[in-house]
Structure 1
Amino acid sequence: MNYRLSDEERTRAMNVLGTHFADGRLTLAEYEERVQKVAEAVTDDQVAGLFRDLPEESYTVSEIEEYRKESGHPKAGILGLSIVGGFVGAVFATGALDAVFVILPVVVFILLYVMKIGPDSWYMPSAAQLRRTRLRELSYQQKLMALEQKKSDQERVRALKNRALGAAEKFLDK
């Protein structure tokens, strides 16, 4: 079924093309042509045709491992467990043992969701999480490229101004 594209879908398609370009699957001319076609596309079928000769997104083991490492927060977990441990010590000191059952879910939450203790299979990032991470990195690279291009353009303009001034000075000196 054909549906009209949103700006977000166009941006996502351009970012995926950027990934394929960065991976060397597209030449600069192919990349620019396809990005232009994405910008002009109205329906999803028009965009889908641009990806027929490109592989679906895949993630390397290192990308998955890096995301998994970044998603854990051991310092925050240790801090949280220390606070809970202090509270448990106070509960035992005062004799209010019923509060231990209230604290136990907090400890389990910190261990599982903050410190990510458990089998690796519990914490494998989803394709959407990996895509967001990759798009964030690609966006950063595009910003750097834009800054480099801007600097290069400014240098070219400066050189043209200098040549024009030099030519004007030669003309005036005659």
Structure 2
Amino acid sequence: MRNSGKMSPTLFLIGADGPLMFVPASLVDANEKDAFANTARLVCIAHGATVIVMAIEAWMKTATPGEKLDMTEPPSEAFARQEVIVLMGESRDGQKQKFLPIIRSGNGKFFGFGETTVPGMDKMTGRFAQILPPKVPDAEMRLLAQTMLQVKGVKFAQSGNRPRLPRDRR
């Protein structure tokens, strides 16, 4: 956020082989967002994830006290919208969410995060929710997911195989 002023959606997980981070190459439209969410689910299966955190930048709108939330208007088009980083944590015991309001200076540059005013929720829905599979995948399912990721061309950072971000994302 400090350098580019934006945050790429990122999946953090702890799996059978330790911690892992997965960032998509690009997210320019709804199809790529859906593909990232589905690939994140495969990554969780392939690596035997036990806990994950999905971090995404989003627009959020809330209803004022006594007012009903207008569900027909997308948050990105709402007049009273707020730019936030959403942290969605999942384990097999449950879910937790945290909304961090983004503070920008007068010229639009990232300045920092504000205090959240959104109470915790029991459940979150959407394309980036329920990423962790409900049951621990067996070895056969993990191998199948690993093969599917190879076919899709998904690469992970390993010694000597570190993917480089494009200049505008460094």
TM-score, structure 1 as length reference: 0.22
Question: Which structure carries more strand by proportion?
Answer: 2
TM-score, structure 2 as length reference: 0.22
Question: Which structure carries more helix by proportion?
Answer: 1
Bigger radius of gyration among the two: 1
